Structure 1
Amino acid sequence: MTDRRALGAHGEELAARFLQAAGIEIVSRNWRCRYGELDLIVRDAQFTAFVEVKTRSGLGFGIPAEAVTFTKQQRIRRLALLWLAEQDGPWRHIRFDVVSVLLTHGHEPVIDHLKAVF
């Protein structure tokens, strides 16, 4: 496993714990199909959310959430439709979230949950 993959996996684990601590149910982690992967699918009392987790070890390339480009957003939306087609509905409220995880040496992780950002 590369350092980048390990960083991403660690960030996803921290994000999942963070969301669970906030009372949000993790429905699925790393859901995959031939077209790609959804990091986290979560549910609270009102929403099912598709969560993209972005982790960085510094701010040299900006905050982690900035890495969720328009192209990435479009891919996540298409994957969400595929996931929803496999599930039993009805679906009342869907949203797309980003969890930004910043891991800097010698500091506590900084985790931001950005709701309904695209």
Structure 2
Amino acid sequence: MTVSKMSWSNAEIGALGERLAVEHLQSLGLRVLGRNWRCRYGELDVVAADDAARIVVFVEVKTRTSDRYGGIEQAVTPEKVRRLRRLAGLWLARQDARWAAVRIDVIGVRIGRRPIPEITHLKGVG
């Protein structure tokens, strides 16, 4: 998919990044359980499952059009990881399914530097 960042709003860029992240997860064999799950404490971008390993994966998606704010490693601070853990716990408490393991991943989507968006997937960040 070729993408140019002409005059997109931040919401459009974010939505595109999430869609590309979901496609990436599905290409790895993960099943998407939910997107943009919200509660009073925040939002989980994507919740996916590795059914074979019985792992639920909470995915933070960071979409960038420049390097102005650094890479995804800088975007997910220890405070952000703590917030994601709390949200994951709240999501899990509302589910009937039981999982063998829980993982938090970050997917970075870089748009505009090359004709095809670049995807970076960091597994198990917290």
- Tell me, which stretches of 5 or more residues in structure 1 are unaligned? none
**Aligned partners of 1:91 and 1:106: how far apart in 2?**
38
For 1:101, the aligned partner's letter is: V
Q: Could you tell me how far apart the structure 2 residues matched to 1:94 and 1:38 are? A: 14
Q: How many residues align?
A: 117
Asked if 1:28 is matched to 2:50, the reply is no
CA distance in 2, matches of 1:14, 1:105: 16
TM-score using structure 2 length: 0.86
**Most deviating of 36-45 and 65-74:** 65-74
Alpha-carbon distance, 1:90 to partner = 2.2
* Aligned with 2:90 (options 42, 59, 82): 82
TM-score, normalization by structure 1: 0.91
- 1:108 aligned to 87, 102, 116, which one? 116
1:65–1:99 Cα contact (<8 Å) kept: no
Match of residue 4 from structure 2: none
**Could you list the runs of 4 or more consecutive aligned residues of structure 1 that deviate by over 2 angstroms after TM superposition?**
none
- The answer to whether 1:93 aligns with 2:112 is no
Listed one character per residue, the Cα deviations across residues 2-36 of structure 1 (whole Å, up to 9, x for unaligned) are: 82222111100110011112211101101111111
* Larger RCO of the pair (alpha carbons < 8 Å, separation 6+): 2
| 1:5 aligned residue (2, 8, 11) | 11
The answer for the alignment partner of 1:19 in structure 2 is: 25
Q: Give % identity.
A: 48
Question: 1:105 Cα deviation (Å)?
Answer: 4.9
In structure 2, the partner of 1:42 is: 48
Q: Does 1:56 align with 2:94?
A: no
Structure 2, unmatched stretches of 5+, are 1-7
- Aligned-pair RMSD on alpha carbons? 1.5
1:68 deviation in Å? 1.1
Q: Distance in 1 between matches of 2:72 and 2:125?
A: 14
